[in-house]
Amino acid sequence: MRKTTAKLADGRELIYFDADDAAPRDSTDLRPLESTTAHSEVRLDPATGDRVTIAAHRQGRIHHPPADECPLCPSRDGRLGEIPAADYDVVVFENRFPALALGAGTAGGGAGPLHVSSPGTGRCEVVCFTADHDLSFADLGEAKAGLVLDAWIDRTAELAALPGVRQVFCFENRGAEIGVTLAHPHGQIYAFPFTTARTAKMAGRAAAHRARTGRNLFEDLLAAELADPVRVVLAGEHWTAFVPYAARWPYECHLYPNRRVADLTRLTGPERSEFPQLYLELLRRFDRLFIQGGQTAPVAPTPYIAAWHQAPTLGGGELALHLELFTIRRTVGKLKFLAGVESGMDTFINDVSPEAAAQRLREVAS
C-alpha cells in the first residue's frame, strides 16, 4: 500500500491509499473553496446520560445530486469534485460538513447543572471505496477490499491518537432507504470525544460477566455460537459470521475475528488477509436475500448499515472488535420501520427469527 497526503483548497486533509504499483495521483485542488467552520456541541441528556451532538450547520450539505455532479467521483472531463485526481483506488478526506471537528469552538455550557454541554470536538472523514460510481462494496475484488481495510486500520490508529478522541467508529450506510445522500460507494469514520452509549452499555455487560464468571463475555459469546452453529453463516480460519441470538433487525449478521482483539489495529497479517474473502461473500449474500422465484438478480440493491465496533481508547480492554451488518428490509418491498416501540422505548421487535435469517443467509451462498 502507498499512502499520499494532500490538502484540499479549503485546507481539509485528503489521503490517497493506492496499490504500490498505482500511478502517482494529482493532488492539486483547483476549486475556489472558502474555509468552513463547524459549530457543533455535545449536550448531555440529564434523564438518560446519553450524549446528543447538535450540528445545525449540516442542514446545508449536498443532497442526492445527479450522477454527473457527484462530488465523490474523480475530477476529470472538466468536472471538479472533492477528489482532485482523475482516478484513484481508495481515498479518505475530511468531511466538508462534519458533525464533529477539531475546530468546533466552545460550547455555552448550559444554564444550570442539568444543562451540560461541551464542544463538538473530534473529526469526521469520508472513505471512498472506489472511483467507479456504479459499483458497490460487494463488487470490489479482494485486493481492493483489503486496501479499504488498510485505510480503516490507518485511520483508526491516527484518529485514536488525536487529543480528546475517545472512540473511533468506521461505518458504511448503503441505500437511499438508509438515508444516504450520495450514491457513490463510500463510508465514513467518526472520531468521538466520548464513548458512545452502545459501547458503554456493552462495556458494562462485559465487566459484569467478568465479575460473575472470570471470563470474557465476547469470547464466551463466540464460543457458544460455534458450539451450537444453528446461527453461524460463515466460518473461516480467522473469522466467524453469525446471526446474534437476540438479533434486533430482520437480517443482521456479526463478523468476529476468532481471536479477540480490541480494535482494527491489533489484527494480524493472516486475519487481515482472510477478511476480504469472508466480508465480500457476506455482502453478496445480503444482496441475494430478496431475490424472488425465477429471478436471477434482486429487484433493488439491499440497503444496509455496516458498523465496526471497536474498544474506546480508554478503558476498553474487555471489548472485542466485530463488524455488525444489518438491513432494514424485512421482505420484498417492505421495510422495518422504527416506530413507537423501537423509537419511543428503545425496545426492538423482530419480524424474522434469528435462526430463520441464518438459514436464509446460508441458502444464498455463492
Is residue 170 located within the same domain as residue 238? Answer: no
pLDDT along the chain (366 residues), means of 10: 95 95 87 86 95 86 83 94 96 95 70 89 97 97 98 98 96 95 96 96 96 98 98 98 98 98 98 98 96 68 96 88 97 92 95 97 94
- Which of 145, 164, 194 is where one domain is finished? 194
pLDDT digits (tens, 9 = 90+) for 12-50: 999 999 998 888 888 899 999 988 777 899 999 999 999
Is residue 7 located within the same domain as residue 100? Answer: yes
CA pair distance 154, 90, nearest whole angstrom: 12
Is residue 152 located within the same domain as residue 258? Answer: no
Is residue 203 located within the same domain as residue 162? Answer: no
Is residue 205 located within the same domain as residue 285? Answer: yes
pLDDT digits (tens, 9 = 90+) for 101-140: 987 665 556 678 899 999 999 999 999 999 999 999 999 9
Is residue 9 located within the same domain as residue 83? Answer: yes
Mean pLDDT of the chain: 93
pLDDT digits (tens, 9 = 90+) for 327-351: 999 998 899 999 999 999 999 999 9
Find out whether 101 and 124 touch, Cβ atoms under 8 Å.
yes
pLDDT at 107: 59
pLDDT at 84: 96
Backbone phi and psi for residue 250, each to the nearest 5 degrees, phi listed first? -55, -45
Catalytic residue status for 186: yes
Contact residues for 74 (Cβ-Cβ < 8 A; gap 6+): 81, 83, 85, 86, 87, 88, 131
Domain, as residue range, for 29 = 2-194
Is residue 169 located within the same domain as residue 269? Answer: no
Catalytic residue among 184, 186, 209, 309: 186
Find out whether 171 and 106 touch, Cβ atoms under 8 Å.
no
Count of the separate structural domains present in the chain = 2
Is residue 75 located within the same domain as residue 135? Answer: yes
CA pair distance 18, 29, nearest whole angstrom: 19
